[in-house]
Every structure is written in structure tokens, then in C-alpha cells.
Structure 1
């Protein structure tokens, strides 16, 4: 009965890890922007290799009693290699996860890893010299479990829980299941790294239970990719509707601008004809100049309408974000002299786009922030790489926007300023969409924060 139970446990044990690998491998993650996609192949590799290791255990238990010593040594050697390879894959996953959560002490972890590897190899060499092969293999397995089983499992688990906290803003429950998966991995690391196998049947039962818990939580966590795909589809549909709306408005605006431009031009010409006939001592020339100013302003409005209707994306090039931002700030330097501008940009961020258009976007957003912060005279600018996107945030110290204002700020002709047409943020939003990005607004406790997101450009 105990033998049958042991066979069943190891069969389920191996199937659980094999299912972990399959759960990841069967997912189509090519279009995902979640950063954890880069680490999941390592976890899948761990699942496959550890399943082979556990099934080797089952094979030894099944046919081992009828085999000689040399067979046992050969199979045990293969089992030890599989165990080490599986834990190295888990260590690779842990390393990738630490990079994703941007752990500040990652460079120290690299040093510790080299030291641990050196210690492990030294202990293996000493044990190999001092022991017979049949005694060395169990010792090597114990060292492997202590160093490469417990350590990477605990680090992976902690990194997954940290990643889950970073994803807490996502409404989908899959985000928190990454944290549960991390806790299950920690439990498995303790069970496999600290508790010896020979304590009884309950040890493989405990390990198999932890493996099943990892599988369950991982399967639930990976459903976040389904949610992400649905969001991408909804976003694409919304962008199509919005593009049709903008196209219709643009066509109307272009037609109106063309019709209005000609009468305005004739009115300007009539002003020029009228000027010599005016009495220079009266207020006529002053009033005529006012008329010219208003006509010129109307012509500028027409130009904005034409620009809105004809905005196109061309001449794409790799643009360092810090250079692009500094260029926009330089254009506004005359307005920023009394301002405190705090910048916190992650180095090396590059985007692909039209330099002129994106500079116009930054100038427009910064100008709005300057207008809003006239009293405090302070701006905060930050940029990070997150989920495969370059995320730029510009915060002002103004009154912020109402809920209606945040929802309608990018709609054509919506404005809170009487002297503006309300096309500035609309054009910014349109340009960002053409570059595969997004513009969003939200209030923070000192004013308004504008978020500009682009896909990160990675040179071939």
C-alpha cells in the first residue's frame, strides 16, 4: 500500500511540474506588454526539468529493487544532474524577476551568487575527493537542495509577491495570484531544501501539495493575460471609433477652414486699402489695427483646424527621451525662468517617432502645466520603463481638473480657457495614438498629472 501511494505521489508530483511548464508554454504571450513575460520561459523550463527529475525518482522506486549497484549509480548520477539543471532554471527565473522589480541591491545579489556558486563547487570537489561515489551522490543532492533549491525558490517567491504589489492597480484578480504563487514557491523551497526526504511519506506529499499550489496559483495568475488581451481588443475598437470621429471632425474642420480663409484674406486686403484714407489723428488707425489682430487670430485658428485635419506620422527615428524633453524645455526656457523643474528620468529610454510632432506634444503639455502652476511655479517630470512602455509623467501644481474635464480634455474643441480653441490636447492625443502610445490625465494632491506612454524602442 505504501509503495502504491509513493508511486502515485511521485506521478502527481511530476505531473504538477510538467503542467506548470505546459501552462506557460501554451500561452500566446507575443503581444503582451507585461514585463513578467520575459521571465516566464525560465519558470517553464524549471517545470519541465523538475518533472523529469521527479519521474526519475518514480522510475528508481519502481524498478530499482531489481537492479545492481552500477545501475543505481548511473541512474542516481543522471537524477543529480536533472536536479541541478532544474534548480538552475529556477535560479534563472529568480534572477529575471529581480531585474523586473528593479531591486536596488541587485548588484550585491550578483556578488553573492558568484560566492555561492564558488562555495558549492568547492564543497562538491571536496566531497568527491573524500567520499565514494555511492556516498557522494546523496551528499551532492543535499547540497543542491540547500543551495539551489531553497535559495532560488525563496527569492523567486519574494520577487513574485513584490511584482504582485506592483500590479495592484490592475483590476483583474490575476495580479494578486502572482503573490499567492510566490508564497507557494517559498513553501516549496522550504519543503525541498530543508526537510529531508527520508523523514517519511509525508515529505513527498508536502512537496507535491506545494507543487499543486504553485500550479493552481500560476494558472489563475496567468489569466491576467486574457484580461490584457481583452483590454487590447477594446482599446483597438475604441481607437477605431475615435479615429472615425476625428476623421469626420477633421474633414469638416478642413472644409470650414478653407471656406473661411478666403474671406479673411480679402478682409485683410480691404484693411490695407482702407488704411491710407484714415485720419491719423483720430482713433481710426488704432481700431483698424484691432480689426487686423482679430482677423489674424481667425487665420491662426484656421491654420490650427487644417493642422488638426492633416496631422500625419512620417519620418520616424529613434529618439532619446531625455534629449527630446530637454529640447522642449529649451523652447520654453523663457517661461520657465522663475520655475523649479524637478526631473527624474530613468537613463537610456528611447522611443521611435517623428521628432517634430513629439516635440510639439511635449511643448503643448508643458505649456499647459506652466499655465496651471503660475502661483506655485513648480513642475515635476519623471520617466520610467514599465511593462515594455516608456512612461513619462508631467505634474503641475495647479487646480487640477474636474472629472468631466479629465474625461473630455482630449476631445476636439473642449477647453477651459476662453482664448483657446481646445485642439491642443486633442492633437497631442492623436499624435501619441499614431505612435502607438496613449495620453491620460489624473489629479494628484498638488494638481494635475499628465501621463504620456510610448512603446519602448529597442534597436535591432
Structure 2
């Protein structure tokens, strides 16, 4: 390396390597346990790429400092080449792992192509082994970049962009970050795989390593932002579990009420059956159809309405709905909750003091669920014949539903 590169080269390569080391650390400390995204299985390879590529750049930084014994110069260059090859191999492995999860992607041919491309720098070193010098290692470095380095950057770009479409259902912002990270890898494939190291960008007179460093920083930034998709996945999973748990608790409450509700529905059905039998008996005895007919039909309709109302309350309570806020009457919710208690309330003295209330914006089934659980808990905590009082009132801008429980 010419001495003119030393003053600016050391901090440049230090920052360059630090960027990739930070990428590896960001992946290593990310909790991806329990994730169903295939990205979680692929990212460890990208972390190794970050660590090994960062080490490669720091070895270059060490060489620029000019410290150490001259006899170690060749081994350090050889180690630098080795870390470069290892980093590119893991970059390819990351891309292949991610592509395997993509539908309609034929990735099997890469198993043959990557070892085939690796032959070029390997054969170059093998044929020059007896006269191995810095120039030979630099040529092998260029061949490695042109082959597996260029391929790894392109594959990683393609895999990340395709994966962005997969995670779009979870988060559009995460999908966008994956797209930009993919574009960054495509640009890095050009800067690190095609343009030789220490070259000057035409028309700009800027060293290519500066653009490589900026591209590496952008890749790291967008990938770290994109990995928030794991947090989003975890949050959505927890939300689903909470919904399932709430539904399970609701069904458990229905189970506790089942006997009482069955009794409440059985009573009107028994009355309906009795009135039908009486009607049949009257007709068989030759009684006039008009005699008591209207009264019996009214009784049948009344009991059908009662059974239908109880069944409707139960169906409304047990059904899982979206949490949509609508204007509701809290007094109706209280009455519906008491209806669902069925015959269980016959063992207690339940008094209601329901004052006129304005409509409130709420989720009716959620309020009913809370009230029902409170009433059931009150029954469990009270002796048979105990007094349970439910009252509602409007106090300023607050509407209160108050339950007082005590012994008789």
C-alpha cells in the first residue's frame, strides 16, 4: 500500500470494519427464538459474514499502520485473504438459506456454481504456491471478489428483496427496509466484487473504499431496522394468544352458566309443550277452537320469546367479534348479564338500581363479559341467600356501574 493512503486509510478501514462487526453483533444479540420466519434460520450466516468481513478490514487497517515484523507480512496477507473468502462463503450461504424458503425459486444449481467459482482463486494459489508472494495473494483476492464475492452480493440482494414481499403482511415498513438492504447488497457487489480495492472512482477522484464503507453502513442500518419484524411478529403472536385466552375464559364462563341456562330455557319449552297438549286435547274433546285459543297462543308466543331471548344472549356473549366501539346502553348490558345467570341467581338476592344513563361508546360483549365475571365471583364469595346489589348512575362525565356484595 502506498504511504499516501496511510493518513486517511487507517480511520477509513477501521470504520469500514466496525460497520460489519456491528452488523454481526446486532444479529447475534437479537432474540429470534420462537420465530416462524425463515429469516431467523438464515441470519446466523450473515452474522458470521459480518464478523469475518469486519476482521478482514481491520487486518487491512493493521497493515496500514505498518507495525509488526516484516516476516509476518506474508502470513497476515494470507490470513486477510482467508477471512475474505470465508466471509463471502457465509454471505452466499445466507442467501441460499433465505432463497430456500421462497416459492418457485430453483436454488439447487448454486450448490454446483459456488464451489466451481471457488476453484479460480484456489487454483491460482495452488499453481503459484512455490513462488507465493504478495502479488499472488492480491490476484487471488481479486479473483475471490469477482467470483464468490460478486455472486454473494447479488444473491443476498435478490433474497432480501424477495423476503421483503413475504414480511409485507406483517409490516410494510420492515418490507421496505428489506428492499433497501437488498439494494445496498447489490451496490456492494459492484463496489467490492467488480471494482478493485484502492481504485479511484472515475470522474469523482474518490477512493472506492469510501463508497464501500458508506454502502456497508446503509446495509447495516436497513438490516437492523428490518429485524424489527421479529418484534412485530412477537407482538402479533401475543395479541393472538390474548384473544384466544379471552375466548377460552368466555367459554369457561358459559360452561359455568350452562346448567342455569338449560333450566331457564327448559321452563318456557315446558310451558309451550303443555299449552300445545292442552290445545290438542281441546280439539280432540270437540271444544270450540275459539275457547281460550287466543290465551294459549299468547302463552306460547311469550315462552318462545323468552327462550329465544336467553339463547340470543348466550350466542351474543360466546361469539368472538372484532373490538368495534359502538353506542351502547349499560342498563341493557346489565339486564342481559343477569339473564345469562339463569337459575343460578335464584340462590341469591340480586337487587338492581338502574338509573337512566346516556349511551356510551364501548364494546358491548366485553362489558357484558366483565359484568358476568364480576357477578359470578360475587356469587362464589357470598353465602347462599346473600345480597348482591348492582347499581348504575351517571356522575358528571363518568358513568359508573357499581356492585355491592354482602351477607343477608
- The bucket for the TM-score relative to the shorter chain is 0.5 to 0.7
Give the C-alpha shift of residue 165 in structure 1.
3.1
RMSD: 4.6
CA distance in 2, matches of 1:188, 1:263: 78
8 Å Cα contact 2:23-2:47 kept in structure 1 = yes
Give the C-alpha shift of residue 21 in structure 1.
0.9
- Shift of the 261–55 alpha-carbon distance from structure 1 to 2, 3 Å rule, reads same
What are the residue-to-residue correspondences of 1:227-306 with 2, within 5 Å? 227-241=232-246, 243-245=248-250, 247-248=252-253, 251-252=256-257, 255-261=260-266, 264=269, 268=273, 279=284
The aligned residue for residue 73 of structure 2 is 72
The aligned residue for residue 423 of structure 1 is none
What are the residue-to-residue correspondences of 1:145-156 with 2, within 5 Å? 145-156=145-156
The aligned residue for residue 138 of structure 2 is 138
- Shift of the 244–272 alpha-carbon distance from structure 1 to 2, 3 Å rule, reads same
Match of 1:12 among 6, 11, 15: 15
- Shift of the 275–251 alpha-carbon distance from structure 1 to 2, 3 Å rule, reads same
Give the C-alpha shift of residue 245 in structure 1.
4.8
- Shift of the 206–125 alpha-carbon distance from structure 1 to 2, 3 Å rule, reads closer
Residue 92, structure 1, aligned to residue 93, structure 2? yes
What are the residue-to-residue correspondences of 1:17-96 with 2, within 5 Å? 17-63=20-66, 66-68=69-71, 71-96=72-97
The aligned residue for residue 110 of structure 1 is 108
What are the residue-to-residue correspondences of 1:51-450 with 2, within 5 Å? 51-63=54-66, 66-68=69-71, 71-100=72-101, 102-104=102-104, 106-107=105-106, 109-111=107-109, 113-124=110-121, 126-132=123-129, 133-134=132-133, 135-171=135-171, 173-200=173-200, 202-241=207-246, 243-245=248-250, 247-248=252-253, 251-252=256-257, 255-261=260-266, 264=269, 268=273, 279=284
* 3-state secondary structure, aligned to 1:30: coil
- Shift of the 271–60 alpha-carbon distance from structure 1 to 2, 3 Å rule, reads same
CA distance in 1, matches of 2:80, 2:273: 90
Q: Where in structure 1 are there 5+ consecutive unaligned residues?
A: 285-290, 312-403, 409-425, 427-460
8 Å Cα contact 1:257-1:303 kept in structure 2 = no
8 Å Cα contact 2:117-2:148 kept in structure 1 = no
Count of residues paired in the alignment: 315
CA distance in 2, matches of 1:206, 1:277: 100
CA distance in 1, matches of 2:25, 2:123: 39
8 Å Cα contact 1:181-1:213 kept in structure 2 = yes
* 3-state secondary structure, aligned to 1:117: helix
Of the structure 1 ranges 189-198 and 124-133, higher mean CA displacement relative to structure 2 is found in 124-133
Give the C-alpha shift of residue 13 in structure 1.
1.0
* 3-state secondary structure, aligned to 1:198: coil
- Shift of the 144–281 alpha-carbon distance from structure 1 to 2, 3 Å rule, reads farther
Give the C-alpha shift of residue 407 in structure 1.
6.3
- Shift of the 3–280 alpha-carbon distance from structure 1 to 2, 3 Å rule, reads farther
Q: Where in structure 2 are there 5+ consecutive unaligned residues?
A: 201-205, 290-298, 326-364, 366-408
CA distance in 2, matches of 1:202, 1:5: 10
8 Å Cα contact 1:150-1:189 kept in structure 2 = yes
Question: After superposition, what is the alpha-carbon deviation per residue over 1:393-448, rounded to whole angstroms, capped at 9, x for unaligned?
Answer: xxxxxxxxxxx99969xxxxxxxxxxxxxxxxx9xxxxxxxxxxxxxxxxxxxxxx
8 Å Cα contact 1:16-1:211 kept in structure 2 = yes
CA distance in 1, matches of 2:154, 2:260: 65
CA distance in 2, matches of 1:63, 1:4: 12
Give the C-alpha shift of residue 228 in structure 1.
3.7
- Shift of the 35–268 alpha-carbon distance from structure 1 to 2, 3 Å rule, reads farther
Give the C-alpha shift of residue 62 in structure 1.
2.6
